[in-house]
A and B are shown apart, each in its own frame.
Chain A
Amino acid sequence: AQSVTQPDIHITVSEGASLELRCNYSYGATPYLFWYVQSPGQGLQLLLKYFSGDTLVQGIKGFEAEFKRSQSSFNLRKPSVHWSDAAEYFCAVGSYTGYALNFGKGTSLLVTP
């Protein structure tokens, strides 16, 4: 079964600094990979997804992620963080045999002035 690990529970970055959130997955084949963002008390918003093709995917709000098969990783990046990016970020993996997603435990991002 597929699984997702987000090694960082909390990350603090200064506004304007670059950001990288880590995500490692476990799956026997090429998975479907997603990054979602959740603001407090809200549902999840899709930032970006990877199914196949170009391993560097662009998403909304200036985010991008790179799929690295050799490292089983799908890290999320942003070159310059804004205070409004403070939220909870979830990486998720889906399989070819069904449509359910397995979520990581999430990374809480704090942005300081």
Chain B
Amino acid sequence: GAVVSQHPSWVICKSGTSVKIECRSLDFQATTMFWYRQFPKQSLMLMATSNEGSKATYEQGVEKDKFLINHASLTLSTLTVTSAHPEDSSFYICSARPQQGRTQYFGPGTRLLVL
């Protein structure tokens, strides 16, 4: 139980294009979903927290107009990297928190490479 999927698992795009990453909780309803960014050999950096049906809360230093987050249902959150640039290349990981509980369950991650 508590499976979270992400799609795509990796994506290569040209600079200036937008990329959408999906995060789905497959066997539970997620009140809250989180988006993290991870640089090579480093820890996870929380980018934003999203609650179903409301605007995401972004961490300090994260550009909300660049990283658009939508949490339209209890099982789906999307992260759109708008006008991507090479410095946006990274490993993006989502997690989901069930309606009852405090544990976060993580997706397998999406590797983004912007050329």
Contacts and interface: CB of A to CB of B under 8 A. Distances in A.
Interface residues of A, number: 20
Contact of B102 (A32, A44, A104, A105): A32
Interface string A1-37: 0000000000000000000000000000000101010
Contacts, number: 47
Contacts of A45: 106
Binding site secondary structure of chain B: strand
Contact of A43 (B43, B97, B107): B107
Nearest to B110: A43
Binding site secondary structure of chain A: strand
B42 A105 contact: yes
Interface stretch (A68-76, A79-87, A93-101): A93-101
B103 interface: yes
A90 interface: yes
Given A43-B93, A90-B43, A100 B106 contact: no
A20 B115 CA distance: 41
Interface string A25-61: 0000000101010000111111001010000000000
Determine the interface band of chain B, counting residues with CB < 8 A from chain A.
20 to 34
Nearest to B97: A99
A67 interface: no
Given A41-B111, A100-B46, A106-B43, A46 B103 contact: yes
A36 B43 contact: no
Interface of A: 32, 34, 36, 41-46, 49, 51, 90, 94, 99-101, 103-106
In the A-B complex, list the 4 residue pairs whose CB atoms are closest, starting with the nearest.
A44-B106, A43-B106, A43-B108, A105-B43
Given A43-B6, A43-B106, 11 more contacts: A43-B107, A44-B93, A46-B106, A99-B97, A99-B104, A100-B34, A101-B34, A101-B46, A103-B44, A105-B42, A106-B42
